[in-house]
Amino acid sequence: MSGTPLTQDAFDQLFLQAHTHNAWQNKPVADELLHHLYGSLRMAPTSMNSNPARIVFVKSREAKEKLIPALMEGNRAKTMAAPVTAIIGHDTRFYDMLPKLFPPIPNARDMFAGNAALADITAFRNGTLQGAYLILAARALGLDCGPMSGFDNVAVDQLFFAGTSIKSNFICSIGYGDPKGIYPRNPRLDFAEACSIA
Amino acid sequence: MSGTPLTQDAFDQLFLQAHTHNAWQNKPVADELLHHLYGSLRMAPTSMNSNPARIVFVKSREAKEKLIPALMEGNRAKTMAAPVTAIIGHDTRFYDMLPKLFPPIPNARDMFAGNAALADITAFRNGTLQGAYLILAARALGLDCGPMSGFDNVAVDQLFFAGTSIKSNFICSIGYGDPKGIYPRNPRLDFAEACSIA
């Protein structure tokens, strides 16, 4: 596959014409599509194949009503209206899965098990990478996304991850967006403001 | 665009058949392609459009020789051989750009300027999202990636970001991969191991 770019339409769908969505069509997202979504995003790279992301797809009214009070006021109504809101978290004890996930280094677990700072930053960095993969895999599937970090992480951890080593990172509504809810595009940084070639 | 998935070929190129690369064809990556890469990745979402990622595309022999000693032994030779190695960092003072980047909230800068913990986690989370966008945008452009976090972040910060508020996050070689350098695929977590639907 080396060397062949995707079509302009694909770039538009993934990056150039895609927008964060704030309003949603009344069209459900099948569980099967969420399985496809995870089946795609999980193949993208993480450090030592650590795969620390743990995702709750909040879909039922009951689970939505549990989540909503932990969100910033401005994020509540639109989250209630979304077909699915994914809570992207990461397991700070991801290393317990390394014997399965990273057979090339049989003692990989030990690098992290005794070093909480390394485990935490590895979980956060790679769980965040996987959250970005989720956004782009959803767009690739024809879904729209509304990612948010305006919520009370501690509250969400208590509500959804109590008694586990999983910490919430950000949340992302998923569905078929209503273009009427799109905000105007904000400017981006120019290449020279953000990048250099050395 | 809502509702239409990309082709199977596109899913293969982005996610399913793509691999982390460790060996590189002797084929350069034009600066123009790096501009296209940034022009795509910068459109994907960040919190409050904060766009904290700052990227050095290390391309010259001189810059490569500066970078190499900061890498783990096992990452040195393959990084030297790569046409480009991107250092993905994030500006912990990203908020100074918010008056340009996020006009809807004119005082957005103040939310971060007096709260270093919030600024740091926002820079790291969103800079990491942008690093993942870089990987998938590179694959969309027909490039291959070799992301790595096995290096001395403090040393790289001193070498490439001295006197700035930019911190290195991870690095990623970019080029046209030589399939002979691909390692066997490691297992991924099943849906039920990493996800739930609530």
The answer to whether the CB atoms of B15 and A128 lie below 8 A apart is no
| Residue B1 pLDDT exceeds 70 | no
pLDDT at B3: 82
Is A4 within 8 Å of B4 (Cβ atoms)? no
3-state secondary structure of A24: strand
Residue B114 CB-density burial (10 A; 0-12 exposed, 13-18 middle, 19+ buried): exposed
Phi, psi (rounded to 5 degrees) for B95: -65, -20
Contact of A79 with chain B, judged by CB distance below 8 Å, is answered with: no
Sheet harboring A166-175: ordered strands across?
A: A144-148, A166-175, A84-91, A53-58, B195-197
- Per-residue pLDDT of A15-30, as tens digits, reads 999 999 999 999 999 9
Say which of B11, B125, B198 has its CB closest to residue A59.
B198
How far does B181 lie from chain A, in Å, by closest CA?
14
Residues of B in contact with A44 (CB under 8 A): 14-15, 18, 132, 135-136
- Say what the pTM is: 0.98
Q: What is the largest CA-CA distance in chain B?
A: 53
Beta-carbon pairs below 8 A across chains A and B: 248
How far does A21 lie from chain B, in Å, by closest CA?
11
- Per-residue pLDDT of A125-171, as tens digits, reads 999 999 999 999 999 999 999 999 999 999 999 999 999 999 999 99
How far does B178 lie from chain A, in Å, by closest CA?
9
- Per-residue pLDDT of B106-139, as tens digits, reads 999 999 999 999 999 999 999 999 999 999 999 9
With CA atoms as reference, report the closest residue to B61 among B77, B88, B83. Answer: B83
Contact of A183 with chain B, judged by CB distance below 8 Å, is answered with: yes
Q: For testing the chain A interface, which of B38, B188, B193 should be mutated: the one with the most A CBs within 10 Å?
A: B188
Which residue of chain A is at minimal alpha-carbon distance from B169? Answer: A125
